[in-house]
Amino acid sequence: MRTTIELKDESRARLLEMAARRGEKRFSIIIDEALDLYLRAAEAGEGRRRAALALRGRLGAGEADRLRSAASALRGSWR
């Protein structure tokens, strides 16, 4: 699919150089690869965020007491 994106002149020049080193005539393949990597990383980050949120409220009583004590000790040392 064709689309239009706006690039800085420097970015366009660097993409053209990279494409030439790879033997490509256009840099659209590089843009597609970069977009794929970005989308996979964003999806993975979202999955990690959901997993962390799923742990909310999962501390056992002993763990909660230890965390509460450690937080109180830290607060006591604040000036």
Q: How many folded domains does the chain comprise?
A: 1
Query: Are residues 1 and 13 in contact, defined by beta-carbon separation less than 8 angstroms?
Result: no
* Dist CA 75 CA 68 (whole Å): 10
Residue 47 falls inside a structural domain: yes
Model pTM score: 0.57
Residue 3 falls inside a structural domain: no
62: left (phi over 0), alpha (psi -120 to 50) or beta: alpha
Domain of 18 in residue numbering reads as: 9-76
Has residue 4 got a pLDDT over 90? yes
Has residue 45 got a pLDDT over 90? no
Higher pLDDT, 62 or 59: 62
- Least confident interval from 3-7, 22-26, 50-54: 50-54
